[in-house]
Amino acid sequence: MSRIELASEVGDDFDRILEHLAQYQVENPVLCIRAIIEALNVLEHNPMIGRPAINDKRELVIGRSSHGYVALYRYVVEVDTVFVLAVRSQQEAGYAGL
């Protein structure tokens, strides 16, 4: 089972997502964050499940369409660890801070 580590910037991403959900008065936005975290937990058993991205990174697609998110991560085989680098809405262009 692979270990998962979240970059400190992922906390900022979650804050940004929560602010966006609050702005549009989404009911129970914390459930959205919980769903993202549960999806990231899949990487413990399937670290290569995400689609290939640039520079040996991968993207895990979470949910779908305007309600979906994308997590950018890197899996380092030598230490059997998934490093989650960023999370964004599928509607956003690019990753904040990268």
Domain tally, the chain: 1
- Whether 33 maps to a domain, the answer reads yes
pLDDT band at 91 (very low <50, low <70, confident <90, very high): confident
Mutual angle of helices 8-23 and 29-41, in 10-degree steps: 140
- Whether 50 maps to a domain, the answer reads yes
- Whether 82 maps to a domain, the answer reads yes
Q: Residue 51 sits in which domain range?
A: 3-89
CA distances from 55 to 33, 52, 98 (A): 27, 9, 13
Q: What does DSSP assign to residue 97? A: T
pLDDT at 24: 84
- Whether 59 maps to a domain, the answer reads yes
At 20-51, the pLDDT tens digits run 888 888 888 888 899 999 999 999 999 999 99
- Whether 74 maps to a domain, the answer reads yes
Write down the pTM of the prediction: 0.89
At 53-84, the pLDDT tens digits run 999 999 999 987 667 899 999 999 999 999 99
- Whether 41 maps to a domain, the answer reads yes
- Whether 68 maps to a domain, the answer reads yes
For the chain, the first-to-last Cα distance in angstroms comes to: 28
Q: What does DSSP assign to residue 56? A: T
pLDDT band at 97 (very low <50, low <70, confident <90, very high): low
- CATH number of the domain enclosing 22: 3.30.2310.20
pLDDT band at 86 (very low <50, low <70, confident <90, very high): very high
- Whether 97 maps to a domain, the answer reads no
Token pair of 52, please? 């290939």
- Return the H-helix or E-strand segment holding 51: strand 51-52
- Angle value at C-alpha 98, between 18 and 64, nearest 5 degrees: 50
Is the model's pLDDT at 95 over the cut of 90?
Answer: no
